[in-house]
Amino acid sequence: MTPEERDRRIREIAERVAERLDAEWPEGNLTLNDIEDLAERVGHDVQREITDRFLQKEATRKAGPRTACPCGGVAIYRRRQALTLLTTGGRVRVQRAYYYCSACRQGHCPADVRLGLGPANTTPAAQARLAVLAAFATYVQVPDLIAQLGLPLQVDIKSLERVAQEVGAQLALAPPQPFGTTERTVVLGLDGVMYPTYTGNQEARVAVVYEPDWKAGRTPAAEAGLRKEYLATSGSRQSLVVAACARARARAGGAPVVVVSDGQALDWVDLEPLLPERIEILDFYHVTGRLAEIAVALHGGPGAAATAWSTEMKRELLEWGPRKLLDALREWKPGAAAPSEVRRLQLAYFERQEERLRYPDFLRRGYPIGSGAVEGACKHVIADRFDGSGMRWKPDTADPLMHVRAALLTQPRLDLRPYAVARATRRREAGPAA
Segment 37-96, tens digit of pLDDT: 888 888 888 888 888 888 888 888 877 899 988 888 999 999 999 999 999 988 999 999
CB atoms within 10 A of CB 415: 11
Residue 148 CA neighbour count, 13 Å, CB half? 6
pLDDT at 38: 83
The fraction of the chain above a pLDDT of 70, given in percent, is: 96
Long-range pairs for 90-98 at CB < 8 Å and ≥24 separation? 90/44, 90/47, 90/48, 90/152, 91/152, 91/154, 92/48, 92/51, 92/52, 92/55, 94/55, 94/56, 94/59, 94/60, 95/56, 95/59, 95/60, 96/59, 96/60, 97/60, 97/61, 97/62, 97/63
335 confidence band (pLDDT: 50, 70, 90): confident
Which pLDDT tens digit goes with each residue over 82-117? 999 999 988 999 999 999 999 999 998 888 888 889
As a whole number, mean pLDDT of residues 252-271 equals: 85
What amino acid is encoded at 269 in this protein?
A: V
In which order are the strands placed within the sheet that holds 200-210? 229-233, 200-210, 186-197, 257-261, 278-282
- CA–chain centroid gap for 50, Å, is 33
pLDDT at 20: 80
SS3 at position 122: strand
* Phi–psi pair at 127, nearest 5 degrees: -60, -45
Which pLDDT tens digit goes with each residue over 195-231? 999 999 999 999 999 999 888 877 878 888 899 999 9
SS3 at position 386: helix
pLDDT at 113: 86
pLDDT at 27: 79
Radius of gyration of the chain from Cα atoms? 29
The fraction of the chain above a pLDDT of 90, given in percent, is: 67
Angle between helices 304-319 and 323-331 (to 10 degrees): 140
pLDDT at 45: 81
As a whole number, mean pLDDT of residues 263-284 equals: 86
* Phi–psi pair at 234, nearest 5 degrees: -95, 5
Which pLDDT tens digit goes with each residue over 140-169? 999 999 999 988 888 999 999 999 999 999
As a whole number, mean pLDDT of residues 332-360 equals: 94
- Burial (CB < 10 A; 0-12, 13-18, 19+), residue 243, is middle
434 confidence band (pLDDT: 50, 70, 90): very low
268 confidence band (pLDDT: 50, 70, 90): low
Give the angle subtended at the CA of 272 by the CAs of 267 and 278, to the nearest 5°: 90
As a whole number, mean pLDDT of residues 367-377 equals: 93
Residue 1 CA neighbour count, 13 Å, CB half? 12
As a whole number, mean pLDDT of residues 308-312 equals: 96
pLDDT at residue 428 greater than cutoff 70: no
- Burial (CB < 10 A; 0-12, 13-18, 19+), residue 410, is buried
Record the pTM.
0.87
Cα–Cα distance measured from residue 374 to residue 324, given in angstroms and rounded to the nearest whole number: 29
pLDDT at 222: 81
pLDDT at 433: 41
Give the angle subtended at the CA of 89 by the CAs of 83 and 94, to the nearest 5°: 20
Cα–Cα distance measured from residue 81 to residue 79, given in angstroms and rounded to the nearest whole number: 6
As a whole number, mean pLDDT of residues 406-422 equals: 93
Beta carbons of 202 and 392 less than 8 angstroms apart: no
- The mean predicted confidence, pLDDT, of the chain is 90
Q: Which residues contact 70 (CB under 8 A, 6 or more apart)?
A: 108, 428, 429, 430, 431, 432
pLDDT at 423: 66
pLDDT at 432: 44
